[in-house]
Amino acid sequence: MGTSSKQSQQSCPRCFSDKTIRIILWGLPAGEPDPAIYTLGGCCVEEEMPEMECIDCGWQGSKLDVKKATRMRRFIWTDEDAPGIIYHRKFRITDEALDALETSEVWMSAKSFSSQFTPKSIYGPEGKMSWLWDLSWDSEDAMRSDLYTNMGGGVPIEIIDKLIQIIVSKNLRQ
């Protein structure tokens, strides 16, 4: 693995990474703190000091926020969770759904957009909006709300609607 076994299995509330949450050490620590556990906050003690930081996305906040995110993470699908019990909600973006989107009429007719991207380059695990790949939803509305966030990230609304329709209809057939 190469990573410290002491590394926390806590989830970042913003980017949901399981490997990048660190305890912020304020002030000047004695000795060399373990970088798998700690990050340095700086020497100055301020009034509202965050307790935790994500060294990947820069999120800072309280231990409670991290605790909540970690609990929520249990319900979110990742392939890394296998072979344990996988908790995931009703709807999620899958390879199958992205393939179906790519061959849909809606996708192909949005030429100015679809000539620059593939569904996977947007919504796939390595895509521009890969954070959506890691989520799952209980309802169509909840899924729609996340996919519409921030103007859909620039994806034409009819493409977002088509993806939602594909995911919902697949779910119904199962």
Note the residues at the interface with Zn ion (CB under 5 A).
12, 14-15, 54, 56-57, 59
Q: Which two tokens stand for residue 159?
A: 């493409």
Query: CB-wise, 38 or 113, nearer to Zn ion?
Result: 38
Shortest separation between residue 17's beta carbon and Zn ion, angstroms: 5
Is residue 18 exposed (0-12), middle (13-18) or buried (19+ Cβ within 10 Å)?
middle
Query: CB-wise, 14 or 170, nearer to Zn ion?
Result: 14
Q: Which two tokens stand for residue 56?
A: 């990947």
Shortest separation between residue 155's beta carbon and Zn ion, angstroms: 23
Query: CB-wise, 37 or 57, nearer to Zn ion?
Result: 57
Query: CB-wise, 101 or 132, nearer to Zn ion?
Result: 132
Shortest separation between residue 53's beta carbon and Zn ion, angstroms: 9
* Sequence-ordered list of residues with C-beta below 8 angstroms from that of 59, at least 6 positions apart, any chain: 12, 13, 14, 15, 53
Listed in sequence order, the DSSP H helices in the chain are 63-73, 95-102, 105-109, 111-114, 119-123, 130-133, 140-147, 149-152, 157-173
CB 136 within 8 A of CB 92: yes
> How many CB atoms neighbour CB 50 within 10 A?
15
Query: CB-wise, 12 or 101, nearer to Zn ion?
Result: 12
Shortest separation between residue 137's beta carbon and Zn ion, angstroms: 21
Shortest separation between residue 152's beta carbon and Zn ion, angstroms: 22
